[in-house]
Structure 1
Amino acid sequence: MPRPHRLPPIIALLAAGLSVPTAWAVDNTTGLETLTVTASAATKTETPFIETPQAISVIERDDWEPRAAETVQRAADYTPGVFTNQIGASNRYDYLVLRGFADGSINNTFLDGLKVMSDGGSFSSLVIDPWFLEHIEVVKGPASVLYGRASPGGLVAQTSRRPAFEPGGELRLRLGNNDQRGAAFDLTGPLDAERRLAFRLTGLARSADIQFGPVEEERYAIAPQLTWDITDATSLTLHAYLHRDPQGGYHAGLPFEGSVVDRHGRRIANDFFEGEEAFERFERDQTMLGYEFEHRFSETLSARQRLRRTEADVQLAQVYAYGWASATELNRFFSGGEESLEALTVDNQLEARLTAGGVDHTLLLGLDHQRRDNDVLWTSGAFPPIDAFDPRYGAQPTMMFPEVRQHRELEQSGVYLQDQLAFGNWRANLGGRHDWVDITNTDPDSGAASALDDTQFSGRAGLLYLFDNGLAPYASYSTSFSPNSTTDQNGDLLSPTAGEQLEFGLKYQPPGTQDRYSLALFDITQENVSTKLPNETFYRATGEIASRGLELEAHSQLTEALAVQAAYSYTDVTLEKTGDATQGNHDNQVPRHQLAVWGNYAFQSGALAGLDAGLGVRYHADIHADDANTEQVPDYTLVDATLGYDLGRVGLEGVYARLNVNNLRDEEYVASCFDLNFCYFGAERSVTASVSYSF
């Protein structure tokens, strides 16, 4: 039985869903006062980029749409401090390595202020298609003070398109190589003459073959929403997101020898499929239902509540390679899974703005609660080897191992307080949070269980000075925690890992522009990382990882026609304490150097008026292939390009055509390696053409 949750009764009652009402803003486009959610994920309040003493990167729709990004990880390709190629060409999950920490978006994805309740210890990691998003905010460094359990590397906060009180819409068709095909729509507008009710209906269907054998990707999703401005001070938005992936593409790796370097003078092709079509399956169904309730008590006091319920079912079957069996043959094994996840998350906030002693305060008091249950059935087995250079398919398993059943429960409640202070040109941010965390993994057959019942405190302090010319130097300190999924010699879950970060930075936003520039220096230490000696079957929470680095970012409209986005990251991640020979080595799957530049030129006049052209370059260097640091992945450079044309110039008002080519040179490369047994080929060249109609 799960242990009782140690939470004060009044807090538990509120966290379970009592309605405390949220912030208010004026929408001048409709002539009516309406609520808008424009809060920064770094503060959960309306805080400008230039006044936030923490590194954040905001990715707008106008950034990823011209690049034809169809996943969140592709949308983040040009973002500093984010490695988007951890698993190469795989699109099954949104893998983002944030400041060197690989649990990036799988465990740290948020949608509209609430955690996307994936289960990082299983196959039930959920995704949101970027067609349904308005923008993405990557918050760098620990953010547990507002969100509870989180990676010290940061979090990925996604914001949905919401109902608008002006009618509008968009239709889009897309075709491409590998039989890419897709259609999408987005409709919004008022439902009544008084413009108190507004709707939004967004949908998408797409599919594609991929570069690995018979595997395909297929997706259908729809999001109906309704906003009701109940009074001039109260608003309610109901929303749903229904998502089905009947086919989830490819997710496997191959040995370093054979993929990165030759194996007896031969190299595995970058489209090689080591599995079996009859045993290849990934289906994911996810449903999210929720609401946002907001109320303004006065000009200085407001409240909000956000709640979402999630259900997800995942079915997996996969034959994968693990090491060489002979000079040409790879060992193969089978992995299968059936999982059913249910989750609920709610966040209650009370925000007050006041002035005392010449200091302006924005106070935020919050109370949130998360609950997740996941029933899993995992199967495994062995398959005959396959020749990596002359494959023959149609094999059957040679052995199946006993099934593993598990009921995985997680419950977390937290109370937090944040004070944002403004005095003259100074901006300060102080925050603290206390969490109660309960995790229980139970074998339903034997009743054996591993459990964690813990409390955690997280804090943050930041100070920034805003010069009149738009320069803003800052310094900040923040902490994080994240539960471990491994067990000790007694079968108990290890204590959560604890992270802390010291960051110094400089931001610049020229007055009167949307341009933004930033520099950040950071030093992160994560303790209580689970480690295991080779001769032991259990883990110890004794490890320590340090991540230090530099990030530079620029978004600039250089001229009326030319916009440039540039990003550079230097990330040095060291295994400070491991208890084995890897101690002091650099972590793998982390490029020490990343450089990305994207430029877009929109012709303003003459015969080419209406045409825009974009070109991007992404460079990744110094990626270790294993913790022992015996091998490295060769550096690689990728080029992306686009051409777009506004057909309104020839009388087709609202119609726009675009051609995209990603990996323009069709470079064959290995993106990264989990270890020397699992290296991941990068995506081959992709060519897509799209036509959209906006009205």
Structure 2
Amino acid sequence: MNSGHRIAGTALLLAGMAPIAVAAQSGDTPESVQLAPLNVIGQAATKAETPFLETPQSVSEITREEMEEQGARTVQEAARYTPGVFAGQIGASKRYDYMVLRGFSDGSIDNVYLDGLKMLGDPGTFSTLQIDPYFLESAEVVKGPASVLYGRASPGGIVALTSKQPRFSSHREIQLGVGTQAQRQAAFDFTDRIGDSGRAAYRLTGLASRSDTQFDKLEQERYALAPSLTLNLSEATSLTLQAYLQDDPEGGSHSGLPAEGTLYPRNGRTISNNFFEGEPDYELFERTQRMLGYQLEHAFNDSWSVRQNFRYLNSDVRLQQVYAFGWASPTELNRYYSGADESLEAYAVDNQLQGEFATGALRHTLLMGVDYQRRRADVAWPSGSFPPIDAFDPEYGADPIAIGPAQRQDRELDQLGVYLQDQIALGNWRFTLGGRQDRVDIANRNPDTGTEDAGDWRQFSGRAGALYLFDNGLAPYASYSESFNPNSYADADGDLLEPTEGRQYELGMKFQPPGSASQVTASLFHIEQENVATREPQESFYRPVGEIRSRGFELESQLHVTGGLFLRGGYSYTEAKIHEAADGTEGNYSNMAPRHQASLWGTYFFDQGALDGLEAGLGVRHIADLWADDENTRKVPDYTLVDASMRYDLESIGIQGLSARLNVHNLFDKEYVASCYSLNYCYYGDERSVTATVSYDF
């Protein structure tokens, strides 16, 4: 049986489990995992509280519990079991959260939002920010264009993170962890009300971690702190003040190797998946990021309320990297040098007015908003060359052949958007209509030469959706949505490229039986994106590609099969093709966009005998039909990975608040190439890692 048939069989099996899950609702559920009927409230897809069944768009939620159970060390790892998300774009690198959504790898580090506001890193530089998952309460993956609410965005979707918020009840946690690759981590999370008035609560979360990586001579290190304070200023007004401070003195690996030697042998030899092609004395990645913000909300009455979210951020990045590009001899790789000294400053504000009212038989949830973003980055990029290195018997200690003067840029972006959305209920019908007008100004200046590349764009984005709620829990829907993303990228002549524009048509079916904690989503989508650009890592300019079309099918299920068994399964078929191109790739499949992805994670809660308090989890991920280059000359071999988790709550033996967890990624230590940017840059995937964590709640 070929891989496509196997994956399709898995998808049908997952869909067939839904009746089992429904039948299981009448059975007994252990008290330790008692489940209320699930009514997921989506914020990211509508910026308003909308139940799972009433959102005419495919949205996946990743909970705090799932992040812990799967041992997610980054946001991209937390999304590995989400259909439509490819999290292996740069393999084992954990420096940034790359997430390819519905086949679109462009902007895959620029589609992350935190508490409703864009993270505002600059994807044209090295200044992209990252949030540690320990500081998150949940994440939502909104699939498809979301520009009507968020402005510039990738047509594949967005990843919306929700940070841990202060609680008015006491919770204190201390966590210690160790593992392979010399992992060690300490973290704490404290929250409680302040005083007896019930008007103030705080939260203080912190983390320190350090580890080696699977690549020789490289380490990762992080220190982060997030204080927050919630004030109920009155019965109708609340204010939450937030800060996030993070220092990454070591950033691990971010390098690729040629396809010859990784995907297939070089003169009968394969490069080790631990190989470091750089120079220890010229390897540096330091990132410091600081964010300050608030969330203010006031209810005028039961129908109308106003919200304002604000965030200021700045970051500093220093980079030195010696990287490989092509073969210099039968055993040696050419090497070049790239450096960066960057400072980024940005802020964003989103003002919202929401009203709930009726006009005849129509019930409206009306959202009006104005948001503004401003970002400035000052960068300096030196470059040069290094002597070659033997990829099979490396020797380190070389000095550069030459390092040239730094290329400097001052990069600015301004975005102002006005949007309107109406969610309408008419009997069992649900309609969503929205529109937005944006103004975006971009300017890239060279302070040494005085030259400037600038552009300003005006863009309207629309959205429409319809959904029908059947009494048995079925909810078919159809939707149309648009996206745009102005380019801050320049071509070989230094001119800014035209904005990318996208549109999606989606048909789907959601299913959540009344009173059930299980849910299933199936969706068909068709996305078109124009004015796509790409860049080779060794080049400083971008090339226009043309138009990409992505279409496919996704199936996702969260099933409570028996009292103690929970399954999360998914399958996605994505056909991302280059529809128009001037470089000879027209009609080819896009690389970094696997055609087939399937995953299944199962958790079982033991509640009897000697195993009482034990939770065991096992997951399988499969990636198939992934091209290594847009020319479609080579494919990345299909790979299947197994992860495992085990948690024991020592309360079952009389020790209150103490629990221990063991997480294993890539259980069978499979060596594999996760993805290729081109035949010059292929990325090895994670080797096996084991982490043991002890948590004490008091």
Task: Please give the TM-score of this superposition, normalised by the length of structure 2.
Answer: 0.93
Structure-2 residue corresponding to 1:315: 318
Give the distance between the partners of 1:334 and 1:148, measured in 2 at CA.
36
Deviation at 1:451, TM superposition (A): 0.6
Is residue 122 from structure 1 mapped to residue 125 from structure 2 by the alignment?
yes
Deviation at 1:575, TM superposition (A): 0.4
Matches within 5 A, 1:391-470: 391-470=394-473
Is residue 55 from structure 1 mapped to residue 58 from structure 2 by the alignment?
yes
Structure-2 residue corresponding to 1:484: 487
**Distance of aligned partners of 1:492 and 1:145 in 2 relative to their CA distance in 1, 3 Å threshold:** same
Residue deviations 1:44-73, cap 9 Å, x none? 000011100000000001111011111001
| Amino acid aligned to 1:523 | H
Is residue 243 from structure 1 mapped to residue 246 from structure 2 by the alignment?
yes
Structure-2 residue corresponding to 1:607: 610
**Distance of aligned partners of 1:540 and 1:682 in 2 relative to their CA distance in 1, 3 Å threshold:** closer
Structure-2 residue corresponding to 1:135: 138
Structure-2 residue corresponding to 1:95: 98
Structure-2 residue corresponding to 1:674: 677
| Amino acid aligned to 1:236 | L
User: Which of 263, 276, 286 is the matching residue for 1:283?
Assistant: 286
Deviation at 1:489, TM superposition (A): 7.5
User: Which of 576, 584, 587 is the matching residue for 2:587?
Assistant: 584
Give the distance between the partners of 2:140 and 2:218, measured in 1 at CA.
32
Give the distance between the partners of 1:250 and 1:537, measured in 2 at CA.
20
Structure-2 residue corresponding to 1:548: 551
Secondary structure of the residue aligned to 1:91 is coil
Deviation at 1:531, TM superposition (A): 7.3
Structure-1 residue corresponding to 2:116: 113
Residue deviations 1:532-583, cap 9 Å, x none? 99xx998776710000111100011111210000010101110011112211
Assess if the C-alpha contact under 8 Å between 1:639 and 1:662 holds in 2.
Answer: yes
Assess if the C-alpha contact under 8 Å between 2:554 and 2:573 holds in 1.
Answer: yes
Give the distance between the partners of 2:282 and 2:476, measured in 1 at CA.
55
Residue deviations 1:290-322, cap 9 Å, x none? 011100001000000000000100000000000
Assess if the C-alpha contact under 8 Å between 2:93 and 2:254 holds in 1.
Answer: yes
User: Which of 129, 150, 154 is the matching residue for 1:147?
Assistant: 150
Give the distance between the partners of 2:527 and 2:591, measured in 1 at CA.
17
**Distance of aligned partners of 1:692 and 1:596 in 2 relative to their CA distance in 1, 3 Å threshold:** same
Residue deviations 1:598-638, cap 9 Å, x none? 00111111121111111100000011001110000100000
Give the distance between the partners of 1:470 and 1:282, measured in 2 at CA.
50
When structure 1 is superposed on structure 2, of 347-356 and 487-496 the one drifting more is 487-496
User: Which of 294, 300, 303 is the matching residue for 1:300?
Assistant: 303
Residue deviations 1:17-65, cap 9 Å, x none? xxxxxxxxxxxxxxxxxxxx97610000000111000000000011110
Give the distance between the partners of 1:526 and 1:625, measured in 2 at CA.
21
Give the distance between the partners of 1:530 and 1:113, measured in 2 at CA.
27
User: Which of 336, 350, 353 is the matching residue for 2:353?
Assistant: 350
Residue deviations 1:260-316, cap 9 Å, x none? 111001111110110000000000000000011100001000000000000100000
| Amino acid aligned to 1:42 | A
When structure 1 is superposed on structure 2, of 636-645 and 483-492 the one drifting more is 483-492
Structure-1 residue corresponding to 2:478: 475
Residue deviations 1:419-455, cap 9 Å, x none? 0000000000000000000000000111101011110
Deviation at 1:137, TM superposition (A): 0.1
Give the distance between the partners of 2:399 and 2:458, measured in 1 at CA.
48
Give the distance between the partners of 2:541 and 2:68, measured in 1 at CA.
46
Assess if the C-alpha contact under 8 Å between 1:405 and 1:443 holds in 2.
Answer: yes
Structure-1 residue corresponding to 2:368: 365
Runs (4 or more) in structure 1 with deviation over 6 Å come to 536-540
User: Which of 493, 496, 511 is the matching residue for 1:508?
Assistant: 511
| Amino acid aligned to 2:294 | Y
Secondary structure of the residue aligned to 1:270 is coil
Aligned residues: 657
Secondary structure of the residue aligned to 1:65 is helix
| Amino acid aligned to 2:260 | E
**Distance of aligned partners of 1:617 and 1:490 in 2 relative to their CA distance in 1, 3 Å threshold:** closer
When structure 1 is superposed on structure 2, of 537-546 and 366-375 the one drifting more is 537-546
Deviation at 1:492, TM superposition (A): 3.1
Assess if the C-alpha contact under 8 Å between 2:239 and 2:296 holds in 1.
Answer: yes
User: Which of 380, 393, 397 is the matching residue for 1:377?
Assistant: 380
Is residue 178 from structure 1 mapped to residue 181 from structure 2 by the alignment?
yes
Structure-2 residue corresponding to 1:596: 599
Structure-2 residue corresponding to 1:257: 260
Assess if the C-alpha contact under 8 Å between 1:105 and 1:155 holds in 2.
Answer: no
Give the distance between the partners of 2:134 and 2:513, measured in 1 at CA.
31
Structure-1 residue corresponding to 2:27: none
**Distance of aligned partners of 1:292 and 1:576 in 2 relative to their CA distance in 1, 3 Å threshold:** same
Assess if the C-alpha contact under 8 Å between 2:591 and 2:676 holds in 1.
Answer: yes
Deviation at 1:104, TM superposition (A): 5.0
Secondary structure of the residue aligned to 2:260 is helix
User: Which of 137, 158, 161 is the matching residue for 1:158?
Assistant: 161
Residue deviations 1:206-251, cap 9 Å, x none? 1100110110000000000010000000011100000110001100
User: Which of 180, 198, 201 is the matching residue for 1:198?
Assistant: 201
Unpaired segments ≥5 residues, structure 2: 1-39
Assess if the C-alpha contact under 8 Å between 2:279 and 2:322 holds in 1.
Answer: yes
Assess if the C-alpha contact under 8 Å between 2:288 and 2:317 holds in 1.
Answer: yes
Structure-2 residue corresponding to 1:571: 574
Assess if the C-alpha contact under 8 Å between 2:219 and 2:252 holds in 1.
Answer: yes
Task: Please give the TM-score of this superposition, normalised by the length of structure 1.
Answer: 0.93
Unpaired segments ≥5 residues, structure 1: 1-36
Secondary structure of the residue aligned to 2:233 is strand
Assess if the C-alpha contact under 8 Å between 1:105 and 1:156 holds in 2.
Answer: no
| Amino acid aligned to 1:214 | K
Deviation at 1:401, TM superposition (A): 2.3
Assess if the C-alpha contact under 8 Å between 1:104 and 1:153 holds in 2.
Answer: no
Identity between Structure 1 and Structure 2 (%): 60
Give the distance between the partners of 2:236 and 2:144, measured in 1 at CA.
35
Deviation at 1:204, TM superposition (A): 0.5
Give the distance between the partners of 1:490 and 1:278, measured in 2 at CA.
35
Structure-2 residue corresponding to 1:75: 78
Is residue 628 from structure 1 mapped to residue 631 from structure 2 by the alignment?
yes
Q: CA RMSD in A?
A: 1.6
Deviation at 1:530, TM superposition (A): 3.5
Give the distance between the partners of 2:535 and 2:570, measured in 1 at CA.
37
Assess if the C-alpha contact under 8 Å between 2:531 and 2:545 holds in 1.
Answer: yes
Secondary structure of the residue aligned to 2:261 is helix
Secondary structure of the residue aligned to 1:131 is helix
